Structure 1
Amino acid sequence: MLIGPYVNGSVVTIGGIVGAFLGSRLPERLRNALPQTFGLASMGLGAMLIVKVKFMPAVVLAMVLGAVIGEMLGVERGLGKMAGATRGFIDKVIPPRQGLSQEEFMDKFVAILVLFCASGTGIFGAMHEGMTGDPSILYIKTILDLFTSAIFATSLGYAVATIAVPQIMIQLALATLATLIMPLTTASMMADFSAAGGLIMLATGLRICGIKMFPVANMLPALLLVMPFSFLWASYIA
């Protein structure tokens, strides 16, 4: 029985609710400084995953074509609309907190949506539990997500708690499909998959820190392409 996805999602919900409740009760300097720290941590973890790459040309090709597909499908635009609808629903139930414009809210919400749902740790952890029954990797992510969701919810409000829904769905799907996917993968394919995830996490960290507004959601299709590209590169070019 899968446990990790439910524990991870529950903690995101709890952290989002607690953080939104505390809101302005936390010092302003703390609410401003910690997201920068989380952005830096995301960039650091991304860099750590990138150095494991086996076939960088295959990863770059997957990232470029994945970004083209994401742009054509309007993935980020769709997530932005979903974020706006989520905020609208939450605001009807609970009075909105002043301070963020709709554009600022969507920028931050989409960035942390990717951070929670598409991080290399979450994807690999879900696949690992599906294959081995060991949820320990997702438990590590759970500890980090508790504080991350709470801090971001101090500025974004209760909408952060709703991220648990797509997060659980994605992790359950990955864990369920892992028994079919993992036997077909090689160490090189997994390394390149982690590297692609690392590049996305690096872009996410830069976005959270406000350094560069990368369209990170539009990069997500690359995660579907990188393993086949890595296999083809190893088989016919390398």
Structure 2
Amino acid sequence: MILLGTLVNAVAIVAGSLLGCLLTRIPESIRKTVMQGIGLAVIVLGIKMSLGSDNFLLVIISIVVGAIIGELIGIEKGLNRLGHWLEHKIGKGKEGGIATGFVTTTLVYCIGAMGVLGAMDSGLRDNHDILYTKALIDGFSAIIFTSTLGIGVLFSAIPVFLYQGLIALLSTQIFNVVSQTMLDAMLVELTAVGGLMIIAIGINVLEIKKINVANMLPALLIAALGVPFMEWFSKLFS
């Protein structure tokens, strides 16, 4: 089932939000320790993914070039500006209300490499491990968000399901463009690049250092295009 990972992710947000309505006072020590455990698990997943590359030079090039493109475009800044604009237009005067909780958590759950890569993995390989991990993170964070922002957090499950579901469904059509062999090679490098980005997400969760992961998103495209380019380049000079 292609949409299983997306469905689990949405249900986890709903369940976390409902639980958050009951647990209005969660000790800070519990929040911190659980999030640290989740952060460590995310890093382990990222390491496992990144070590599968058949051409680590391409992974490095993709991350470097992708990060440069992302910084020049200002993806992270643009998303932050969008968040402020939405808060101003929709959440104005409703602090702690439905609009604020909905807007804030929709941005948190939809924006990030884990959602994009996880949905693609669901669509291409029917593998939902990344989205299951994301569901765990989103579900627990929904408890925290709901306890502070209110029931509006629950409704963010709707755009999460639509956004990730659309990516998963569109990914199934990639077979019409490239061969199975080329797709397998592209997936290996996409997974490796995505793994490094997921490690960065784990570092962010652990609050070790703030990494602008959104600015690295172009690296996924660079990795995908780099595989056929490098194959063409090797044939040209062979």
- Give the alignment's TM-score, normalised by structure 1: 0.74
Question: In structure 2, do the counterparts of structure 1 residues 194 and 3 end up closer, same or farther at CA, with 3 Å as the change threshold?
Answer: closer
List per-residue Cα deviations over 1:60-98 (Å, max 9, x = no partner).
1111111111111211112222333455545744527xx
SS of residue paired to 2:118: helix
Question: Which segments of 5 or more consecutive residues in structure 1 lack a partner in the other structure?
Answer: 97-104, 130-134
Q: For residues 197 and 49 of structure 1, what CA distance do their matches in structure 2 show?
A: 8
The 3 A distance-change label for structure 1 pair 12 and 199 is same
What residue is the counterpart of 1:222 in the other structure? 219
Q: Confirm whether residue 147 of structure 1 aligns to residue 148 of structure 2.
A: no
Instruction: Indicate the percent of aligned positions where both proteins have the same amino acid.
Output: 26
The CA distance in 2 between the partners of 1:34 and 1:230, in whole Å, is 39
Q: Which residue of 1 aligns with 2:71?
A: 71
Aligned to 1:203: 200
How many residue pairs get aligned? The number is 222
| 1:193 corresponding residue in structure 2 | 190
Verify the 8 A CA contact 2:21 2:147 in the aligned structure 1.
Answer: no
Aligned pairs for 1:1-238 (under 5 A) are 3-4=3-4, 7-8=7-8, 10-18=10-18, 20-22=20-22, 24-87=24-87, 89-90=90-91, 92-93=93-94, 95=96, 113-114=111-112, 117-118=115-116, 120-129=117-126, 140-141=132-133, 144-145=136-137, 147-153=139-145, 157-158=149-150, 161=154, 164-182=157-175, 184=178, 185-237=182-234
> 1:47–1:198: 8 Å Cα contact kept in structure 2?
yes
Shift of 1:198: 0.3
- Partner Cα separation in structure 2 for residue 22 and residue 113 of structure 1: 27
CA contact (8 A) 1:53 1:195 kept: yes
Q: Is the 8 A contact 1:5 1:168 kept in 2?
A: no
The superposition leaves residues 81-133 of structure 1 with CA deviations (integer Å, 9 ceiling, x where unpaired) of 2333455545744527xxxxxxxx99xx7598426523x4333013335xxxx
Query: Are the counterparts in 1 of residues 46 and 197 from structure 2 also a CA contact under 8 Å?
Result: yes
Runs of 5+ consecutive residues of structure 2 not aligned to the other structure: 98-103
C-alpha distance after superposition, 1:127-159 (max 9, x if no partner): 335xxxxx8658845753563343552677357
User: How far apart, in 2, do the equivalents of 1:86 and 1:190 lie?
Assistant: 35
Partners of 2:19 and 2:81 in 1: how far apart? 23
TM-score (norm: length of structure 2): 0.74
CA distance in 1, matches of 2:4, 2:214: 24
Counterpart secondary structure, 2:209: coil
Instruction: Go from structure 1 to structure 2 and tell me whether the alpha carbon gap of 1:82 and 1:127 turns closer, same or farther (over 3 Å shift).
Output: farther
Cα distance in 1 between the residues matched to 2:148 and 2:205? 13
Rg: which structure is higher? 2
Amino acid at match of 2:198: M
**Aligned residue identity for 1:148:** F
- Output the amino acid matched with 1:49: M
Amino acid at match of 2:112: V
**Is 1:117–1:166's contact at 8 Å kept on the other side of the alignment?**
no
Shift of 1:38: 1.5
Q: Against the structure 1 CA distance between its residues 175 and 203, is the aligned structure 2 distance closer, same or farther, given a 3 Å change threshold?
A: same
